[in-house]
């Protein structure tokens, strides 16, 4: 970076405004890199329109929905609804980051570009779900209304560093959730669609991860504390949707997203890439945050191992039952 402002000795000197200004050059660089590698795509090209037909309502020839009409698996159906309802809250997400990052300069350009790219995800997923009859359309709309009527307020809206740290992990978590949903869906069309969405989410993760790296160079102590806080208190953005806890438990058992995946495929890759646990020359608060982060990750790995054992035992029981019924 060619930022000429001096390294401020006191963590308290780094206000959000100063950090936004100091990181603007990095945002512009990452935005230009993103625009070079990101490929535009057409949501309508991923939807099997010829499979569609009318639902009951204004059309006399409408067919009532039945889950047997779709090839999507039960766990695929559950995860698709969670993933789509999460994407549906895009207006609230845009409001949150536009308020925090601003609408001007490189920050503003990124905010609007990110929103436009994310908008495709909800469009293509809803079109696919309705056309393929993978979900009950009435229930889906009821869930959407209930979820969006609750609104969304980020856990990290108090701090731009916490927000940058959160999205660095959350974008990867979303990518993993979409990709695993595709694998578990039982429908190659769905798998291709979610793979395309996952590619976008990965590019978004890279943008924020690189921004987080620059923040570590500018304000290592504050950034370490932000990462510690975000990792320890991490929640997916869809946590407030109707029936989320039950759906999350089913997705965990179905190996779409669980503790092991969260530890191995989301948290560890970002922490390892940034060499977070190897950062030296930290002040007392930074060192404390780094140590607490390490302890938390060790504890999470232990909890994930317990989950792995329970999941393996469950699979063994189901296999035994299946064998006995033959």
Residue 255 three-state SS:
coil
How buried is 197 (Cβ within 10 angstroms: 0-12 exposed, 13-18 middle, 19+ buried)?
buried
The total number of residues shown for the chain amounts to: 326
d(CA 124, CA 318): 35
Query: For 61-93, b where at least 16 C-beta lie within 10 A, e where not — what string?
Result: eeeebeeeebbbbebbbbbbbbbbbbbbbbeeb
* Residue whose tokens read 């699979």: 315
CA distances from 148 to 31, 81, 88 (A): 29, 14, 8
Q: What is the DSSP letter of 53?
A: -
- Residue 303 annotated as binding site: no
- Residue 171 annotated as binding site: yes
Q: Is residue 310 within 8 Å of residue 255, measured between CB atoms? A: no
- Residue 117 annotated as binding site: no
- Torsion angle, CA of 158/162/168/171, rounded to 10 degrees? -30
Q: What is Dmax (Cα atoms) for the chain?
A: 73
d(CA 201, CA 297): 24
| Crossing angle between the packed helical segments 160-184 and 74-88, to the nearest 10 degrees | 150
d(CA 147, CA 152): 9
- Residue 262 annotated as binding site: no
d(CA 146, CA 244): 12
- Residue 285 annotated as binding site: no
- Residue 87 annotated as binding site: yes
Binding-site residues from annotation: 87, 118, 121, 171, 201, 204
Binding-site residues from annotation for Fe cation: 87, 118, 121, 171, 201, 204
């Amino acid at each position: 970076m060619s930022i000429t402002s001096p390294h401020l000795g006191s963590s308290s000197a780094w206000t959000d405004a100063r950090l936004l200004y100091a990181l603007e050059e990095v945002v512009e660089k990452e935005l230009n890199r993103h625009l070079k590698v990101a490929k535009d795509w057409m949501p309508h090209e991923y939807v099997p329109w010829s499979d569609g037909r009318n639902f009951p309502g204004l059309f006399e020839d409408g067919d009532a929905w039945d889950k047997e009409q779709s090839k999507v698996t039960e766990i695929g159906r559950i995860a698709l609804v969670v993933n789509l309802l999460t994407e549906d809250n895009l207006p609230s997400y845009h409001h949150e980051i536009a308020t925090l990052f601003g609408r001007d300069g490189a920050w503003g350009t990124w905010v609007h570009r990110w929103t436009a790219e994310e908008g495709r995800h909800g469009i293509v997923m809803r079109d696919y779900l309705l056309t393929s009859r993978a979900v009950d359309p009435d229930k889906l709309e009821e869930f959407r209304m209930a979820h969006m009527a609750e609104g969304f307020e980020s856990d990290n809206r108090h701090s731009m560093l916490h927000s940058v740290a959160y999205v660095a992990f959350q974008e990867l978590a979303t990518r993993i959730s979409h990709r695993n949903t595709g694998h578990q869906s039982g429908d190659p069309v769905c798998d291709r669609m979610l793979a395309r969405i996952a590619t976008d989410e990965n590019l978004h993760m890279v943008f924020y991860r690189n921004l987080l790296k620059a923040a570590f160079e500018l304000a290592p102590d504050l950034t370490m504390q932000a990462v510690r806080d975000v990792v320890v208190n991490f929640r997916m953005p869809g946590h407030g949707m109707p029936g989320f806890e039950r759906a999350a438990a089913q997705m965990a058992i179905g190996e779409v997203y669980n503790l092991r995946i969260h530890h191995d495929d989301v948290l560890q890759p970002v922490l390892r890439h940034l060499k977070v646990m190897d950062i030296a020359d930290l002040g007392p608060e930074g060192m404390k945050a780094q140590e607490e982060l390490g302890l938390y990750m060790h504890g999470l790995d232990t909890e994930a191992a317990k989950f792995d054992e329970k999941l393996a035992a469950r699979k063994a029981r189901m296999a035994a039952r299946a064998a006995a019924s033959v």
